[in-house]
Amino acid sequence: MGNQYALAVDVGGTKIAIALVDDELQITEKKTIPSHASTGSELWERIANATNMILQKTQGEVVGIGIGSAGPIDLNAGTISPVNIPIWREFPIVEKFQQISKVERITLHGDAMALAHAEHKVGSGVGSRNMFGIVVSTGIGGGLVLDNKLFEGETGNTSFFGHSSIDYSGVQCVCGRLGCVEAYASGPSMVAEAKQLGWRSEENSFIGLAEAARLGDGIAIAAIDSGTRALAVGLVNFASSLDIGHIVIGGGVAQAGEVFWAPLMKHIHAETEFFSFLKKLKVSPAKLTTDAGLIGAALGVL
Ligand SMILES: [Zn+2]
């Protein structure tokens, strides 16, 4: 166990995790709080209490606070406006943590960026110079490592890959745009597509859809095929624009196994066919599952 620690915070739409991570990237203390509260200040109160409890237990030095949050975020202002936490809009999370701790170094990243960072340092992306890491679950986000460095962009929102459009006259996405990758390839989008195609099941989760596909249900297979095709088109657009060598995919949907990976790889091969420089594009599953967000957040300061 190391003597230097990061306080890592992972802000998600369902829960918020706060942890102490040592310099060997081991989690030594962790608290989880539901993201639902009646007011923004009530939610912050709970986080502040949990943070104080964790900091009081710390034996070593806390060198910084690393925050990974669902987007959008504003890196320059230190604020977050997570789509799934409507009680927080332009919430000054960095300033709030400054007020309750003596820690000076505080970093803020998008949650998918934090995950990509963790995969690059200790997961599937180790050794890849230019890596794009994405999370496919309820939504789709991404994070970019260029020349072995996490790329932050102007405002910290490189995570917004899910809202790149692959069809300007396509279906409307929750964000308002038409034809976003997420509107076809997220778990709920694939389930919606299956229902549209006539999938008669009580099941509403992607896990259920994947199970049906595994058992040979033609509609489930078709819906996943169409969703993974959309994802492949988006990924190859991205990889070809930036000349990326490695794509790492994590998140609940990507854990479905062959029913997801086989069609995805088929479509990626079909799309990369046109570009000789993408022939060696590596696509692999994420290695870290639980706590990758916290490890990535901690990497912001360790
Ligand atoms: Zn969108």
Quote the pLDDT of residue 34.
94
Task: Indicate whether 106 and 240 sit together in one domain.
Answer: no
Task: Indicate whether 270 and 131 sit together in one domain.
Answer: yes
In terms of Cα–Cα distance, which of 221, 68, 70 is closest to 137? Answer: 70
In terms of Cα–Cα distance, which of 301, 151, 156, 141 is closest to 231? Answer: 141
How far apart are alpha carbons 177 and 113 in whole angstroms?
A: 22
**Domain annotation covers residue 119:** no
| Contacts for 83 with CB less than 8 Å, ≥ 6 apart | 13, 70, 71, 72, 139, 174, 175
Q: How far is the CA of 141 from the centre of ligand 1 (A)?
A: 11
Long-range contacts of 187-190 (CB under 8 A, 24+ apart): 187/136, 187/137, 187/138, 187/252, 187/253, 188/138, 189/227, 190/223, 190/224, 190/226, 190/227, 190/253
In terms of Cα–Cα distance, which of 256, 278, 270 is closest to 136? Answer: 256
Q: Which domain holds residue 164?
A: 126-285
Those residues of the chain that have pLDDT short of 50 are none
Task: Indicate whether 184 and 250 sit together in one domain.
Answer: yes
Q: How far is the CA of 176 from the centre of ligand 1 (A)?
A: 6
Task: Indicate whether 37 and 136 sit together in one domain.
Answer: no
Two tokens, residue 157: 């929102």
**Domain annotation covers residue 162:** yes
**Domain annotation covers residue 265:** yes
Task: Indicate whether 184 and 249 sit together in one domain.
Answer: yes
Q: How far is the CA of 191 from the centre of ligand 1 (A)?
A: 17
Considering its fold, how many domains does the chain have in total?
A: 2
Q: How far is the CA of 51 from the centre of ligand 1 (A)?
A: 33
Q: How far is the CA of 137 from the centre of ligand 1 (A)?
A: 14
Task: Find residue 146's DSSP bridge partners.
Answer: 149
Question: Please, what is the end-to-end C-alpha distance for the chain in angstroms?
Answer: 14
Q: How far is the CA of 139 from the centre of ligand 1 (A)?
A: 9
Question: Residues whose CB is under 5 A from ligand 1 (ion)?
Answer: 163, 173, 175, 177, 180
Q: How far is the CA of 242 from the centre of ligand 1 (A)?
A: 21
Q: How far is the CA of 32 from the centre of ligand 1 (A)?
A: 29
DSSP label of 13: S
Task: Indicate whether 109 and 173 sit together in one domain.
Answer: no
Task: Indicate whether 168 and 262 sit together in one domain.
Answer: yes
Q: How far is the CA of 57 from the centre of ligand 1 (A)?
A: 42
| Contacts for 97 with CB less than 8 Å, ≥ 6 apart | 9, 51, 65, 67, 103, 106
Query: Given its phi and psi angles, is residue 186 left (phi above 0), alpha (psi -120 to 50 degrees) or beta?
Result: beta
Task: Indicate whether 99 and 217 sit together in one domain.
Answer: no
Q: How far is the CA of 219 from the centre of ligand 1 (A)?
A: 25
Q: How far is the CA of 66 from the centre of ligand 1 (A)?
A: 27
Quote the pLDDT of residue 1.
52
Task: Indicate whether 214 and 91 sit together in one domain.
Answer: no
Q: How far is the CA of 165 from the centre of ligand 1 (A)?
A: 7
Quote the pLDDT of residue 189.
96
Task: Indicate whether 108 and 203 sit together in one domain.
Answer: no
Task: Indicate whether 274 and 137 sit together in one domain.
Answer: yes
How far apart are alpha carbons 282 and 131 in whole angstroms?
A: 9
pTM above 0.75, yes or no: yes
Task: Indicate whether 132 and 90 sit together in one domain.
Answer: no
**Domain annotation covers residue 120:** no
Q: How far is the CA of 186 from the centre of ligand 1 (A)?
A: 11
How far apart are alpha carbons 108 and 280 in whole angstroms?
A: 33
CATH code (residue 55): 3.30.420.40
**Domain annotation covers residue 238:** yes
How far apart are alpha carbons 87 and 241 in whole angstroms?
A: 36
